[in-house]
């Protein structure tokens, strides 16, 4: 997937969720053979950019599993509790664009918000 498309898409999704500020982080994860990893991604969106064969991604948003026949749609956007599964006997990689949504600071606490960044 071209990197420009997810960045543009992320901006639109952040606005749809009522946020005006966000941070983007490219994540290149490595999964051990036959391993499962759980990501707690509340107040975040994880947009799948690329995944090796044998990787399954599942969340409340749906499933991405290129190896599963009959899956009507491969979901690239995930959030909340995300489960990554490497179903093969070798180390595999998966790349995401992580979108961290930042609550808009209130007028009296603007300086505190900036100091914490």
Domain boundaries, given as residue ranges, for the chain: 4-116
CA angle (114 as vertex; 112, 117 as ends), nearest 5: 110
pLDDT at 50: 95
pLDDT at 108: 45
Q: Convert the pLDDT of each residue in 54-99 to its tens digit.
A: 999 999 999 999 888 887 888 999 999 999 999 999 999 999 999 9
Percent of residues, the chain, with pLDDT higher than 90 = 64
pLDDT at 80: 95
pLDDT at 20: 86
Q: Options 1.10.287, 3.90.550, 2.60.120, 1.10.3470; which CATH number does 4-116 get?
A: 2.60.120
């Amino acid at each position: 997937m071209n990197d420009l498309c997810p960045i543009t898409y992320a901006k639109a999704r952040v606005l749809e969720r009522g946020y005006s500020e966000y941070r983007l982080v490219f994540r290149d994860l490595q999964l051990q053979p036959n391993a499962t990893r759980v990501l707690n991604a509340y107040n975040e969106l994880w947009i799948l950019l690329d995944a090796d064969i044998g990787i399954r991604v599942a969340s409340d948003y749906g499933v991405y599993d290129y190896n599963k026949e009959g899956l009507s749609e491969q979901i690239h956007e995930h959030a909340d509790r995300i489960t990554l599964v490497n179903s093969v006997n070798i180390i595999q990689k998966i790349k995401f664009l992580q979108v961290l949504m930042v609550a808009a600071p209130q007028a009296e606490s603007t300086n505190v918000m900036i100091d914490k960044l």
